[in-house]
Structure 1
Amino acid sequence: MSARANAGAAAGIIRFSQDGHWDQDVQVLLRHARSEAVVAVSNPTRSTDHLRLGQVVVGDLLASGKQVRLLYSPDYLESRDRQPLLRHSSQGAQIRVTDNDFHNALIIDRRVAVLWSGAGAEQPYAYLVREPAILRTLHQFALLTWQSACGLGNHLDSHGAEFDEMSLKVLNSLNLGLIDEAAARRLGVSLRTYRRQVAELMDRLGVRTRFQIGVRAAELGLLTPGLD
């Protein structure tokens, strides 16, 4: 993509193939973000390299203080591991989910965008866009869709299979500030089982301390007072 993009940058819109090194080329664009990136994924590609590299680069952007908005379809969330999403959320990414139709898109600093087809496309394609008028339209449409979407926490809360009843009870015990022994007795489990549940929740929520568990659980709307 790089050579073709450089050769035709003045054209404003460049079509290129998704084969070859396009994954790496898109990641290079992301790494050069100056202040913000909007990533909208409705129908992802099947490339595991693209997914893995995307997770790494989003993490790098957040670590360097860039603003990152992530817009996903429910189908995307159902097909992917939630832990990277929860970790990105804990790092400051703004993540929302929508049932509305939208196109796979990446918009960087409102100065360059990439549109691409997802898995199952008969003729996979991708476009690099630098035309200012089109970029403004893409950015406005992406933000309007993002603003009308629901937060990741609300989505997970409405899809309670992600956190079973015992997990929610453990979260509430932690929120009440109960010591492990008291919480285990309250829930009718062994101390070892309770501590294992806490460790699993820390891993699933992408946090390192029990205090952070409470913060993330509150942000995701997982705390349910009265659940004993």
Structure 2
Amino acid sequence: MHSKHTGSPATGIVRFSQEGQWDRDVHRLLRHARREAVVAVSNPAPSSDHLRLGQVVVDDLLTAGTQVRLLYSPDYLETRDRQPLLRHSARGAQIRVTDNDFHNALIIDRTVAVLWSGAGTRHPYAYLVREPALLQALHQFAVLSWQSGHGLTAPAESVVIDDTDRAILNALNLGLIDEAAARRLGLSLRTYRRHLADLMTRLGVHSRFQIGVRAAQLGLLDDPGCR
């Protein structure tokens, strides 16, 4: 790490000032995750470079098969384009949103963590934690907060569907299997499933049941009496 730091590594806790190559150092650390990465972001990131690097790193972790849990605050989501997050969700990232208060944190394989403090001040700083008992407590708190949150969804105003999308939603609502739905729409099975996967990504859902619930919430289904 290139950032200025204080504290003794022997204690398992080191304080870093957020200067220089801090963003890149943290993302380099995140790349070392092999089994699990828990990322909790409450406050908006200070730079667009931070956001870009984070997106690239999460993509790499998902490609490698690493379990990725992402916890966001509503305030943070207001600063973000949700489409990259929805894409991460479709690729297997487990994303939750919570109103609970929490600090920005990163936990890697339950062996090392970074905890930010002083957010919004002129001189924010962070702690690098390797002390096992504190790591366990941080991980438990992060996972409990993640479990108490709700799923990420695309904002209603950003969801635009065409006639094919609507036909797919209505076929799902009728309970048609993929083969029957594809025939009904005049599509090959592969094309139908590709359209369905894209639609699930845009709606921010993971299952056939969830897509029906989300479509109903957004008023995207035809009135049964109109069919």
TM-score (norm 1): 0.76
Call closer, same or farther: CA 1:80–1:65 in 2, change over 3 Å: same
Q: Which has the higher helix share?
A: 1
* Partner residue, 2:198: 213
Shift of 1:48: 1.2
Separation in 1 of the partners of 2:164 and 2:185? 11
> 1:38 touches 1:70 (CA, 8 Å); kept in 2?
yes
**Hey, what does 1:109 align to over in structure 2?**
109
- For the pair 1:227 / 2:227, whether they are aligned, the reply is no
The equivalent of 1:140 in structure 2 is 140
Structure 2: gaps of 5 or more residues = 172-180, 187-192
Q: Is the 8 A contact 2:116 2:125 kept in 1?
A: yes
Deviation track 1:144-163 (CA, whole Å, cap 9, x = no partner) reads: 1000000113xx4xx52332
Question: What is the alpha-carbon distance in structure 2 between the residues aligned to residue 74 and residue 3 of structure 1?
Answer: 29
Matches within 5 A, 1:144-159: 144-153=144-153, 156=154, 159=155
The answer for unaligned runs of 5 or more in structure 1 is: 181-207
Match of 1:68 in 2: 68
- Once superposed, what is the RMSD of the aligned Cα atoms? 2.8
Deviations 1:11-67 (A, max 9, x none): 311111111011111011111112000000000222111111011001100000000
CA contact (8 A) 2:3 2:22 kept: no
For this pair of structures, how many residues does the alignment match?
196
Q: In 2, Cα distance between the equivalents of 1:140 and 1:123?
A: 28
Contact 2:2 2:20 survives alignment (8 Å) = no
Q: Distance in 1 between matches of 2:222 and 2:97?
A: 27
TM norm structure 2? 0.76
Check conservation: 1:30, 1:37, Cα contact below 8 A.
yes
Q: CA deviation at 1:84?
A: 1.0
1:171 aligns with: 165
The one-letter amino acid of 1:63's match is T
Using the alignment, how far apart are the partners of 1:2 and 1:82 within structure 2? 31
SS in structure 1 at match of 2:215: coil
CA contact (8 A) 1:46 1:119 kept: no
Encode CA deviations 1:165-219: one digit per residue, 9 max, x unaligned. x538763323335649xxxxxxxxxxxxxxxxxxxxxxxxxxx931312444453
Identity of aligned residues (%): 60
